[in-house]
């Protein structure tokens, strides 16, 4: 075991897969000599050469489209979008094309590509360096969407994503990159896609979350635990496909659910999780299903006071859990 | 629309006589098939038809300049003649138009001619105009990375050239000198929108300089010119000298698709002018002039085409629609 | 009153607004001499001239971006996307830019533009002429999203959308264009955005839906009504903002909810509606909240047998209502 | 990078002597401001800084060739000197860098220099590179529709030229002969990616032919050349003769932003070469040569700039952050 940050785990995950499989390559802006704006590919161009570590022009739609074409022709591209805020031009190639390539060719084409992007706020990124984009991709059948929260998960899930034969949108919370440290095995491992993780077991209330928020929820759960309420924290890890089994099992045990995400509320992942529960675990519910999510503004404002007002923190989560416990 | 005369480099082998006759055979077959599927549409048996009529020389001339099975073909909805020239049978293609079980490219999940063929390296993922251009560049990148000398050719219309993806893809291919051929079938219309409302220039070839790549305009009704320009582009690509824009000036004989009514926007005169540039007749006359269709060869070819199309029609008429039992399959691997 | 089809109502709505306000203009592919592929702008170029009815190149991202720029400079553009399936390239300019223009300039810029697109299936459109796209835009604060079902609503909502100072994504169900007829007043009227409509009152079960599905739901409700179960059908009409009041009032009355949409299920509008109910009307619920939605495949397949398997019809809705009635 | 000499048309009025000195004053002020905000960043008082250093002549020379209050300005994050030249005060701008209450363009909701000013017709909606280009074309379309003779100018970097939106926007503007000026600040880098990995040509001006519009390359460190090229483009736009690409070859003196470390990708030599092309020094020398900075004029200008910047610094230091009470406002009208 080694203690690493999330960004180190991401880097190692890619590096191991590029060493393991010649068909894996990476393309994106500033990933070469610069090593990526977050240094996710630090040293890569030295080890793998410019052919497998391609500094692209600033042109996101084609980054996605070219990766898609390369994937259909036998390669396993990792396409990096510098910030998730700049991912919208890829929607046409990812949601429109990559997601349907297998379905629309009766399984003849497969698209083993990963679209990586750092997302989320808490880094003074303002309206255009803080966006959460998981909901839009997670709505699309044919895609897989992953949002790791820890170094262990980030590396293990990324390796699975690279080996997966379907297009995976891999969204890393940039706030966790250097903030979150954790143990990572020295030996080879992967974490399967589509499996949620009980990050903290508990009996009275289920908190379902993912990404950066996992850490606030765990902290809040510990605080509330000291107040005599036992909270289970579920990290979805993969947003599509959702792990209904883990979600429903927990709800059937606790009967009370709080869903937490940083992304805005309406038509967010929380809505879907709530609907799954309301349809399949209705008889077990003891209280309304509550969502705690980003406010209904387009994204996170820049000034520190405004950003703080947007962001969900341990305190806000604790307050929501206490409310629910009282119901 | 101004038609620029073909500008073809030296040193390209002309197609052999046999190959020329073969191309003619494909053209005749394609035209017969095309006419038949329109009939099927009018009979309510084909939900939608986009026609290759007027584009056949550009499509067949370019395919025949490449290596089927090795090279990669990214096509669009109007490329019926590409399919014929790649070797799909009229029956296979008509299963697409009638959306019947056994359709090979997409299991009838998609519009006719859409889907893919793994064995033919043929891809036509979607109806979304222009998306195939970066995908083709990605395919060329993959070939280059593995050190293969396969070429990727991508077909698109003048309309598609306006899409941002076209720009991004050409620029990337130029930077990395990728083995890709950008074959534009410029028929002067994007549905009803004439070229003059699509661009302030006569065609897309003038963009080549802006990317630092070669570009060539050819008369797309002259199969020889297309064959030569494509051959030269393919040689350049295989030699590691990068992409080429081949702009073929063609005509669209018919409405955009069977859903369109071109009388709303197209002058009868314009259509009549267009029809004078019939690629099938032009090649027929060239071959007759060169003595390559001796005796009743031409009518044998035409009758054979008719026979094949009739058989195909009977087959697809009798074929069932696909069962809906597995329509949820192939979402994930 | 005149009986019209939906497409006629859409056309009249635009025509009236263009006559009323010189700053309204329309841009899109084939909208000039061709009159639009669905003839929504039939005759417009003759009446308003090429300056106000602009046939654009095939370039959706710029259609959106140019409309946005024109809107910020005092015009009221209607940008037509030929089919909603081709709307993805606009996401960057609409979700990324237009939705945030007001927020990000502290209210200095406003974006009075409408992005119109025909959507949905049932017309043998296959994977790329059948898509439903409301969920992706409806997730975005700053946008309004409208999905009319009848000629009356289509015209009245479109006129409101054109007069609105915010960017509106206006999604017309192409299957309704010529299929659905209805009375439209001869005098001037508008239908306000953000207000749901009880299309059929009832007491036992609430069916919440929008767009084409409204008609199947009404038919199903009539059938089930004859079986002695009283069904209320709510047409959301506007997907963002959602009309929580009408939704919750109905649920508090009936205690049982079925949500129906043609779009695929996961992270669709139904998830959000379910979550709103599970949070705010939990105590009134007598049964699980049920969703009936398109299956989890990328879009509607082309062959008639496959398309039928995808589509929700009156029978499927009736079956779902009966199931819920039995709970 | 090859630098093409300025190619300027005849018949354009050179800036008056007074105007030249005014432009110099703005340049000096902007440079002083720029240096100060970097200092604030290093002190932890400014979260992010993108610098105009090396770009000032291109920015100020172009603004001064236009009519402030009437024309429309679509800028990007590096256009600090555009703001100065439009008349924003250093205090107003520094409220942006420090994200303090009262920031005029976005209420400190956005990165510095982002937001809009209704009175100045200034728009900088987002950090998303290239999105402003079609927006600017839309603005020009609106002006033309209303028969106004306002021009819209849009600023963007070499990096932005790779985006599909740039292509779509230029093509549309060309078709409709819109009154828009595409001003590219080509500094040879998109963050770390050098021009040679962004395009296979030396710059974007060679694309102009592909759109059928005029394009001109100027030395962007020579304010006179920029002024003249922009004036000519503005005249063309106002005369209904359509858009122009003005490519200004400039240098980026500093890392991409305060978050960047350019030693990872930029040779020291390259930087030293770049610094030789200091637009402030170049104009200073030109003015001294022409006798336009007599006596201690230059040091008066510099001292005045320092004084203003010091005052602004004190002001923003003392200013509070915005209250979060209304951070939910202005989502809808
Ligand atoms: C992105 C996108 N926008 C619009 C359409 C609708 N559409 C289908 S074909 C077409 C015109 C394409 O013209 P062109 O590329 O010249 O091809 P042609 O049909 O003339 O061969 C349009 C607008 C589409 N399929 N995709
Ligand atoms: C669409 C998009 N992609 C990526 C980025 C990240 N990014 C910010 S600036 C920049 C480089 C822009 O280079 P250029 O346009 O040449 O402007 P310069 O900074 O050199 O003046 C990049 C890649 C972004 N902001 N937007
Ligand atoms: Mg065309
Ligand atoms: Mg640059």
pLDDT tens by residue, D191-248 = 999 999 999 999 999 999 999 999 999 999 999 999 999 999 999 999 999 999 999 9
Identify whether residues A110 and A60 lie together within a single domain: yes
The interaxial angle of helices D17-42 and D90-97, nearest 10 deg, is: 30
Contacts 24+ apart (CB under 8 A), B67-71: B67/B150, B67/B151, B68/B120, B69/B119, B69/B120, B69/B121, B70/B121, B70/B150, B71/B121, B71/B150, B71/B151, B71/B152, B71/B153, B71/B234
Interface test with D, best of C65, C91, C93, C111 (most D CBs within 10 A): C65
| Complete edge-to-edge strand list for the sheet that includes strand B122-124 | B115-117, B122-124, B72-74, B152-157, B180-186, B244-249, B215-219
pLDDT at A208 > cutoff 90: yes
- pLDDT (average), residues B23-37: 98
Identify whether residues C179 and C208 lie together within a single domain: no
Please indicate whether residue A139 is annotated as part of the active site. no
Q: What is d(CA C46, CA A97) in angstroms, rounded to the nearest whole number? A: 38
- Whether C274 is covered by a domain: the verdict is yes
Compute the nearest-CA separation of B171 from chain D (Å).
6
Give me the percent of chain B exceeding a pLDDT of 90. Answer: 95
pLDDT of residue C107: 97
- How remote is the C-alpha of B184 from its chain's centroid? 9
pLDDT tens by residue, C43-86 = 999 999 999 999 999 999 999 999 999 999 999 999 999 999 99
Domain that includes residue A218, residue range = 197-325
- Residues C77, C80, C83, CA angle at the centre, nearest 5°? 160
Q: Half-sphere exposure of D233 toward its Cβ, with a 13 Å CA cutoff? A: 35
* Of B178, B190, B172, B187, the residue nearest B141 (C-alpha): B178
Identify whether residues A176 and A259 lie together within a single domain: no
Identify whether residues C250 and C287 lie together within a single domain: yes
Q: What is the CATH number of the domain that holds A229?
A: 3.40.50.920
Identify whether residues A180 and A48 lie together within a single domain: yes
Question: What's the B184 CA to ligand 3 centre distance in angstroms?
Answer: 9
The answer, for C103 touching chain B at a CB cutoff of 8 Å, is no
Does the CB atom of residue B185 touch ligand 1 within 6 A?
yes
- How remote is the C-alpha of D236 from its chain's centroid? 21
pLDDT of residue C24: 99
Which of D75, D190, D193 maximizes ligand 2 atoms within 8 Å of its Cβ, making it the mutation to test the pocket?
D190
DSSP H helical ranges for C190-303: 213-226, 244-254, 269-280
pLDDT at D7 > cutoff 90: no
Count of domains observed in chain A: 2
Catalytic residue of the set D252, D253, D266, D277: D252
Domain spans, chain B: 17-250+267-317
Residue C236 class from Cβ within 10 Å (0-12 exposed, 13-18 middle, 19+ buried)?
buried
The answer to whether the CB atoms of B109 and C306 lie below 8 A apart is yes
pLDDT of residue B317: 97
Identify whether residues A209 and A173 lie together within a single domain: no
Fold of D17-250+267-317: Rossmann fold (3.40.50)
Identify whether residues C218 and C129 lie together within a single domain: no
Separation in Å, CA B186 to CA A276, B35, B53, B63: 51, 22, 13, 17
pLDDT tens by residue, B176-235 = 999 999 999 999 999 999 999 999 999 999 999 999 999 999 999 999 999 999 999 999
Identify whether residues A29 and A169 lie together within a single domain: yes
Band the pLDDT of D12: cuts 50, 70, 90.
low
Identify whether residues A175 and A206 lie together within a single domain: no
Q: Which residues of B touch C56 (CB under 8 A)?
A: 193, 197
User: Quick check: pTM over 0.90?
Assistant: yes
Band the pLDDT of A299: cuts 50, 70, 90.
confident
- Whether A192 is covered by a domain: the verdict is no
Identify whether residues A147 and A7 lie together within a single domain: yes
Q: Would you say the ipTM is above 0.90?
A: yes
Per residue of chain C (327 residues), what is the pLDDT tens digit? 999 999 999 999 999 999 999 999 999 999 999 999 999 999 999 999 999 999 999 999 999 999 999 999 999 999 999 999 999 999 999 999 999 999 999 999 999 999 999 999 999 999 999 999 999 999 999 999 999 999 999 999 999 999 999 999 999 999 999 999 999 999 999 999 999 999 999 999 999 999 999 999 999 999 999 999 999 999 999 999 999 999 999 999 999 999 999 999 999 999 999 999 999 999 999 999 999 999 999 989 999 999 999 999 999 999 999 999 999
pLDDT tens by residue, B94-135 = 999 999 999 999 999 999 999 999 999 999 999 999 999 999
Contact A164, A157 (CB under 8 A): no
Does the CB atom of residue B72 touch ligand 1 within 6 A?
no
Q: What is the CATH number of the domain that holds A18?
A: 3.40.50.970
Compute the nearest-CA separation of A270 from chain C (Å).
8
A327 CB neighbour count, 10 Å cutoff = 11
* Of C242, C110, C116, the residue nearest C166 (C-alpha): C110
Identify whether residues C172 and C202 lie together within a single domain: no
Pairing of strands C76-80, C53-55: unpaired
Residue C107 class from Cβ within 10 Å (0-12 exposed, 13-18 middle, 19+ buried)?
middle
b/e per residue D86-113 (b: at least 16 CB within 10 A):
bebbbbbbbbbbbbbbebbbbbbbbbbb
DSSP H helical ranges for A33-142: 44-48, 60-72, 91, 101-104, 134-138
pLDDT at D6 > cutoff 50: no
Contact D8, D216 (CB under 8 A): yes
Chains touching D by CB (3 or more pairs below 8 Å)? A, B, C
Peptide bond into D158 cis (omega under 30): no
Does the CB atom of residue C12 touch ligand 1 within 6 A?
no
pLDDT tens by residue, C256-272 = 999 999 999 999 999 99
Q: What is d(CA A2, CA A5) in angstroms, rounded to the nearest whole number? A: 10
- Whether A93 is covered by a domain: the verdict is yes
Of A157, A184, A211, at which residue does a domain stop?
A: A184
- Whether C56 is covered by a domain: the verdict is yes
- How remote is the C-alpha of D254 from its chain's centroid? 16
Question: What's the D186 CA to ligand 4 centre distance in angstroms?
Answer: 5
pLDDT of residue B175: 98
Q: Which atom of ligand 1 is nearest to the CA of C29?
A: 23
The residues facing C207 across adjacent strands are C233, C258
* Number of CB pairs, chain B paired with chain C, less than 8 A apart: 116
Compute the nearest-CA separation of A165 from chain B (Å).
6
Three-state DSSP class for residue C229: coil
Identify whether residues A14 and A161 lie together within a single domain: yes
Question: What's the D190 CA to ligand 2 centre distance in angstroms?
Answer: 6
Of C151, C184, C217, at which residue does a domain stop?
A: C184
Question: What's the C171 CA to ligand 1 centre distance in angstroms?
Answer: 20
The residues facing C224 across adjacent strands are none
Q: What is d(CA C249, CA C251) in angstroms, rounded to the nearest whole number? A: 6
Ligand 2: list residues with CB < 6 Å: A 29, 58, 60, 82, 86; D 78, 127-129, 157-160, 185, 187, 189-191, 252, 256
Q: Which residue of D has its CA nearest to B196?
A: D175
Q: Number of helices (H) and strands (E) in chain B: give both, helices first.
A: 12, 9
Contact B95, B37 (CB under 8 A): no
pLDDT tens by residue, A262-280 = 999 999 999 999 999 999 9
Does the CB atom of residue C58 touch ligand 1 within 6 A?
yes
């Amino acid at each position: 075991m080694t203690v690493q940050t999330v960004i180190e785990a991401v880097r190692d995950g890619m590096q191991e897969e590029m060493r393991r499989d010649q068909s894996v390559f990476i393309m994106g802006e500033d990933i070469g000599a610069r090593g990526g704006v977050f240094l996710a590919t630090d040293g890569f161009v030295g080890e793998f050469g410019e052919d497998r570590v391609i500094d692209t022009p600033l042109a996101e739609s084609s980054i996605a489209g070219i990766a898609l074409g390369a994937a259909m022709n036998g390669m396993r591209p990792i396409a990096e979008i510098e910030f998730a805020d700049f991912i919208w031009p890829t929607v046409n190639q990812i949601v429109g094309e990559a997601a349907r390539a297998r379905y629309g060719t009766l399984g003849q084409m497969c698209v083993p590509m990963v679209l990586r992007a750092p997302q989320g706020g808490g880094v003074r990124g303002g309206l255009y360096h803080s966006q959460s984009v998981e909901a839009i991709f997670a709505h699309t059948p044919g895609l897989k969407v992953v949002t790791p929260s820890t170094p262990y998960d980030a590396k293990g899930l990324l390796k699975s994503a690279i080996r997966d034969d379907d297009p995976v949108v891999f969204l890393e919370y940039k706030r966790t990159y250097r903030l979150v440290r954790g143990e990572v095995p020295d030996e080879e491992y992967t974490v399967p896609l589509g499996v949620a993780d009980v990050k903290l077991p508990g009996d009275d209330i289920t908190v379902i979350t993912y990404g950066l928020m996992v850490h606030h929820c765990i902290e809040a759960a510990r605080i509330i635990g000291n107040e005599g309420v036992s909270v289970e924290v579920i990290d979805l890890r993969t947003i599509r496909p959702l792990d209904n089994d883990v979600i429903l099992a927990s709800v059937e045990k606790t009967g009370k659910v709080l869903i937490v995400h940083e992304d805005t509320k309406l038509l967010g992942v929380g809505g879907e999780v709530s609907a799954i529960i309301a349809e399949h675990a209705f008889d077990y519910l003891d209280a309304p299903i509550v969502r705690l999510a980003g406010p209904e503004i387009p994204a996170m404002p820049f000034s520190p006071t405004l950003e703080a007002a947007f962001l969900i923190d341990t305190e806000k989560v604790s307050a929501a859990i206490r409310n629910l416990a009282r119901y | 629309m101004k038609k620029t005369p073909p500008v073809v480099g030296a040193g390209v082998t002309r197609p052999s006589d046999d190959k020329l006759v073969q191309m003619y055979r494909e053209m005749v077959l394609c035209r017969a098939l095309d006419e038949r599927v329109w009939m099927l549409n009018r009979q309510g048996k084909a939900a939608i038809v986009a026609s290759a009529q007027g584009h056949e020389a550009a499509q067949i001339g370019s395919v025949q300049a490449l290596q089927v099975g090795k090279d990669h073909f990214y096509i669009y909805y109007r490329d019926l003649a590409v399919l014929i020239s790649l070797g799909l049978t009229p029956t296979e293609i008509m299963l697409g138009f009638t959306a019947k079980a056994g359709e090979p490219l997409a299991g009838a999940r998609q519009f006719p001619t859409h889907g893919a063929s793994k064995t033919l390296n043929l891809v036509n993922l979607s109806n979304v105009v222009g998306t195939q251009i970066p995908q083709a560049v990605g395919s060329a990148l993959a070939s280059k990375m593995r050190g293969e000398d396969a070429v990727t050719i991508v077909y698109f219309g003048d309309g598609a050239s306006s899409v941002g993806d076209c720009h991004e893809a050409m620029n990337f291919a130029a930077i990395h000198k990728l083995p890709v051929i950008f074959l534009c079938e410029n028929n002067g219309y994007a549905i009803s929108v004439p070229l003059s409302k699509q661009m302030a220039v006569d065609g897309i070839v003038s963009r080549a300089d802006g990317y630092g790549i070669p570009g060539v305009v050819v008369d797309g009704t002259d199969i020889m010119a297309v064959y030569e320009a494509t051959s030269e582009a393919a040689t350049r690509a295989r030699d590691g000298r990068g992409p080429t824009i081949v702009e073929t000036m063609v005509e669209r004989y018919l409405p955009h698709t069977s859903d369109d009514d071109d009388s709303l926007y197209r002058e009868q005169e314009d259509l009549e002018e267009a029809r004078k540039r019939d690629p099938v007749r032009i090649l027929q006359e060239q071959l007759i002039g060169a003595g390559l269709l001796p005796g009743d060869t031409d009518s044998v070819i035409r009758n054979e085409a008719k026979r094949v199309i009739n058989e195909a029609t009977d087959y697809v008429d009798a074929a069932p629609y696909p069962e809906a039992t597995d329509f949820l399959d192939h979402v994930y691997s």
